[in-house]
Chain A
């Protein structure tokens, strides 16, 4: 079966000891990793994030994604942005801007926040807010119709005021008036990814156990990888890394030869639509993935926008779908 692959690109890699290996937070490093992922055929890259100081030196995720937008042309760019520690209006404008700058390749990994993360902005983050934040962000992306800007010199109208809308969102915890300051993004709405455990209406659900949830949306399995590299076996690499900092997680983890990973991914392609890979150390595992794993897979080709790559339709704007006008 044909598969989508995503790559998590944060820092030195997913292993907590990967950060110690190199100057991994430099902008140049971020750009090189994303370009390598694009050239290898990944559908999208994700940028994990947190406002906490560990690991040290981590740059904010939307900034990283924006920084690489003009150095790439086909790969999707998916920063992780929490719903609680910034304003929904800013999140909507940031991701819309990323979508404009990348000509339709923006996505959003919706994340929750820990108590320590919430303390950075002095809030306790009411329960159930994530779903409302996603809902209002999508409404804001629709607040300008695609053809709102008319530049009609004869009547002196730059835009058609009937096509830019207040969203008048009323949630349980907050309200947002709208419209957004930014015109509708090229994809209509950037692609939304969320862990299936978060109660969020996502375009892509991320699952750790490879079980397809009973909800609409594409499903991507989360897989950590440690690969044989050169003369070093994956097992001994992991032992060495764990000796520095143990790597605990509840995701599926593959440790071994690249051929075995190919078999696992082929197997997974029967159950899910895609896989997000979390390489233990990008500098070591990404070249092995590029050389020995991706060429052996049947991947959907990268297209001009991320939605097109993923086979997701461009959403109809809620403000016209009712046929009011």
Chain B
């Protein structure tokens, strides 16, 4: 069935959440989690999605102070929500580098049983030694082997979930001997999400994922991504129907398109304070720029030597090299367009992109996306809690329902059923 599946990527870190707005709840309070989860159930959402970052972001050796920060352990928090909700899917991002497969498989399986078949695991990898400093086995995995480890990890977890007897693995990347403690859950096993966009990540998705949390939001990119994945899936004997593609995005609504555009512009300003703009450049300059005015011209000094420090936890590998050329290009751009520091950062800062407009316009657009099968839904990142979620449930969901591309009740009870995924075989 063609329809829009929705999830919320609950705020954890980052500049997207406008903490300075007094209308916003404390994103770390359990009451906020509970109220957002209940609103999502009211809106018949598929999944509550928790991200993960295993080291607090820093800027030049100090904790980054400009953005929200403070996250729970995802599986623990979702186990709390399992006790307070009845339908909502509960998806934990968990790292395949800094966990033990048998331990993580059992914790995810527990969540799946506590929620009667609503658990999901978003498989991510980390290669960076900086995050590894928080772990006994810190920094042990070479960058080029992270997806090899992740693949073996996922295969071990799947074997544990399907097994009735001992599972044993002894490779240089995965070492375990375990007999599963839990039977299959109501949905068989946790639903597997995958978020990496590199070729290694796409291949892991094609081989093992039930859902991809994609970075490709615009129609053209989404179409190219879906085509690429369809081809990769075929290589593993799978059809496009066995996988859901859910890009991350956000929504800015207005009574008119003009009002929505105005709100989106206001929001972008809110999401980039002077301190955040300076902090963004400091990543590249690797030196204290606090004396510069964010509304003035770019720093007149040159960046310090050395490649980019990964301590924001947000820079892709590709973005960590070639910074001097990038800075030169930015100077040119700022000169051409007469941009201040803040103006430049607004132009060049990577961001997911939002859907901006009236509920009717966005509903039309989303209906086209799913009818053309370029995506199967979206995972929304809120700028406001509970406001952003309330707004989608109250204004956008009814428009989607009117177009016949959104459920009017939960037909099933498990996350696998919500996502219309094929029933889980025992293998």
Contact = CB atoms under 8 A, between A and B. Distances in A.
Interface of A: 27, 31, 51-53, 56-60, 62-64, 66-71, 85-90, 93-94, 96-98, 100-101, 103, 119-122, 144, 149, 151, 153, 155-161, 164, 173-183
A164 B64 CA distance: 10
B71 A177 contact: no
B106 A60 contact: yes
26 contacts: A27-B113, A31-B83, A53-B180, A57-B182, A60-B106, A66-B76, A66-B77, A66-B79, A70-B34, A85-B103, A87-B136, A90-B99, A94-B76, A96-B73, A97-B73, A101-B76, A120-B102, A120-B103, A122-B176, A151-B20, A158-B65, A159-B65, A175-B133, A177-B133, A181-B55, A182-B71
A122 B100 contact: yes
B66 A51 contact: no
Q: Which of A56, A90, A155, A180 has the most CB of B within 10 A?
A: A90
Contacts of B114: 27, 59, 63-64, 67
A306 B84 CA distance: 22
Nearest to B278: A156
Given A31-B83, A121-B176, A149-B70, A156 B275 contact: yes
Interface in B131-153: 133-138
Interface string B167-205: 000100011111111110000000000000000000000
A149 B102 CA distance: 36
A90 B73 contact: yes
Given A156-B66, A179-B63, A183-B28, A67 B82 contact: yes
Given A97-B72, A120-B177, A181-B55, A51 B103 contact: yes
Q: Which of A89, A103, A120 has the most CB of B within 10 A?
A: A120
B76 to A, nearest CB: 4
Nearest to A90: B73
Interface string B330-354: 0000000000000000000000000
A85 B133 CA distance: 18
B100 A86 contact: yes
B30 interface: yes
B111 interface: yes
A62 B100 contact: no
Nearest to A53: B179
Nearest to A153: B20
B135 A59 contact: no
Shortest 10 CB-CB contacts between residues of A and residues of B? A122-B175, A156-B275, A66-B79, A97-B72, A177-B133, A156-B273, A121-B100, A63-B110, A153-B20, A60-B110
A66 B103 contact: no
A231 to B, nearest CB: 36
Nearest to B64: A161
Contacts of B63: 159, 161, 164, 179
Contacts of B136: 87-88, 173-174, 176
B68 interface: yes
Contacts of A101: 30, 72, 76-77, 80
B83 A71 contact: yes
Given A60-B107, A87-B99, A177 B72 contact: no
Contacts of A66: 76-77, 79-80, 83
B67 interface: yes
Contacts of A157: 65-66, 275
Contacts of A64: 79, 110, 114
Given A51-B178, A158-B65, A158-B69, 14 more contacts: A27-B83, A53-B179, A60-B106, A63-B79, A63-B111, A66-B83, A67-B114, A89-B54, A89-B98, A90-B99, A100-B28, A101-B77, A121-B176, A156-B20
A172 B173 CA distance: 24
Nearest to B66: A156
Contacts of A68: 83
A177 B132 CA distance: 9
